[in-house]
Amino acid sequence: MKPRITFNIITLFPETVESMTDYSILGRAIESGIIDIQTYNIRDYGQGKRKQVDDTPFGGGAGMVLKADVMDKAIQKVKEENPGTKVILLTPKGEKYSQKKAGELSKKKNITLISGHYEGFDERIRSFVDEEVSIGDYILTGGELAAVAVVDSVSRLIPGVLGKEESLAKESFEENLLEYPQYTQPREYGGMEVPEILLSGNHAAIERWRREQAEKITRKRRKDLFENNQ
Ligand code: ADE
């Protein structure tokens, strides 16, 4: 069976990526052939005996900068092997990632994610990519976690990746709402009771209550999301 979607991840740390994708739901989806994840090691495109991938910044300053020529070679190789792939650079300067974006990407067949590392990358690398994405307003030590966040959030939208039960739980964020509260046994714990309505057996009333709770928490914590619904 051909995978429904292929992710290529260009990184200096393929093992870091694999340690996050080879288990649990993603691991199962790879195993069953629904998704495919290929890593490309930037070091393989490094220069000289020491396979150099970065250098000091022109103009001075701290840290090392990933080289444009090295990255160009790596990206070209991925494009050669994956014609038509959508190339996305993970960077705090990118467009803010969202559930909506995950939905759009889940329609693609082939996506390439570039994880920068160290202190930065040569500005010219931007000209080799289709898009730049940030997963939030904070700085990670590398783009691997960000790339895996994209892989994970896109994969769970691919039919068959989540089981039936799991896929029910995915609804709420797609409506720009945070999730309603959930409870299980015991009915009382440390003086905290499960809301009576959930024990009522009245499914319509439970549905209504859950919707109200979702709206209430979203209005309180995430006005920005809530206002998108109005
Ligand atoms: N690399 C470092 N920080 C990042 C972020 N917030 N989003 C995407 N890539 C990053």
Looking at the structure, tell me whether residues 16 and 41 fall in a common domain: yes
Instruction: Examine the pLDDT at 51 and tell me if it is beyond 70.
Output: yes
Rounded to an integer, the average pLDDT of 126-130 is 98
Q: For the domain that residue 51 is a member of, what is the CATH number?
A: 3.40.1280.10
Residue 150, domain extent? 5-155
Cα 18 to the center of its chain, rounded Å: 14
pLDDT tens digits for range 132-163: 999 999 999 999 999 999 999 999 999 999 98
Q: Is 0.85 surpassed by the pTM of this model?
A: yes
Looking at the structure, tell me whether residues 145 and 223 fall in a common domain: no
**Is residue 166 domain-resident?**
no
pLDDT of residue 230: 57
Looking at the structure, tell me whether residues 193 and 141 fall in a common domain: no
Looking at the structure, tell me whether residues 83 and 118 fall in a common domain: yes
Q: What confidence tier does 227 reach under pLDDT thresholds 50, 70, 90? A: confident
pLDDT of residue 100: 93
State how far the Cα of 186 lies from the Cα of 205, in Å rounded to an integer. 22
Rounded to an integer, the average pLDDT of 172-178 is 78
**Is residue 190 domain-resident?**
yes
Instruction: Examine the pLDDT at 117 and tell me if it is beyond 60.
Output: yes
Looking at the structure, tell me whether residues 187 and 92 fall in a common domain: no
**Is residue 167 domain-resident?**
no
State how far the Cα of 37 lies from the Cα of 19, in Å rounded to an integer. 12
Report the residue among 11, 66, 134, 148 best suited for mutation to probe ligand 1: largest number of ligand atoms under 8 A from its CB. Answer: 134
Looking at the structure, tell me whether residues 54 and 150 fall in a common domain: yes
**Is residue 165 domain-resident?**
no
Instruction: Indicate left, alpha or beta for 228 from its phi (over 0: left) and psi (-120 to 50: alpha).
Output: alpha
The Å distance, Cα 132 to ligand 1 centre, comes to 10
111 in contact with ligand 1, CB cutoff 6 A: no
State how far the Cα of 7 lies from the Cα of 148, in Å rounded to an integer. 10
Among 129, 155, 181, identify where a domain stops: 155
**Is residue 126 domain-resident?**
yes
Number of structural domains the chain divides into: 2
92 in contact with ligand 1, CB cutoff 6 A: yes
Length of the chain: 230
The Å distance, Cα 86 to ligand 1 centre, comes to 18
Among 155, 182, 201, identify where a domain stops: 155
| Block residue for tokens 């999301």 | 225
pLDDT tens digits for range 4-46: 999 999 999 999 999 999 999 999 999 999 999 999 999 999 9
**Is residue 33 domain-resident?**
yes
Among 102, 126, 155, identify where a domain stops: 155
**Is residue 160 domain-resident?**
no
The Å distance, Cα 186 to ligand 1 centre, comes to 41
Instruction: Examine the pLDDT at 170 and tell me if it is beyond 60.
Output: no
Looking at the structure, tell me whether residues 127 and 177 fall in a common domain: no
pLDDT tens digits for range 186-218: 999 999 999 999 999 999 999 999 999 999 999
Looking at the structure, tell me whether residues 31 and 73 fall in a common domain: yes
pLDDT tens digits for range 81-107: 999 999 999 999 999 999 999 999 999
pLDDT of residue 229: 65
**Is residue 161 domain-resident?**
no
Instruction: Examine the pLDDT at 130 and tell me if it is beyond 80.
Output: yes
Looking at the structure, tell me whether residues 9 and 83 fall in a common domain: yes
pLDDT of residue 26: 96
Looking at the structure, tell me whether residues 52 and 143 fall in a common domain: yes
Q: For the domain that residue 198 is a member of, what is the CATH number?
A: 1.10.1270.20
The Å distance, Cα 122 to ligand 1 centre, comes to 16
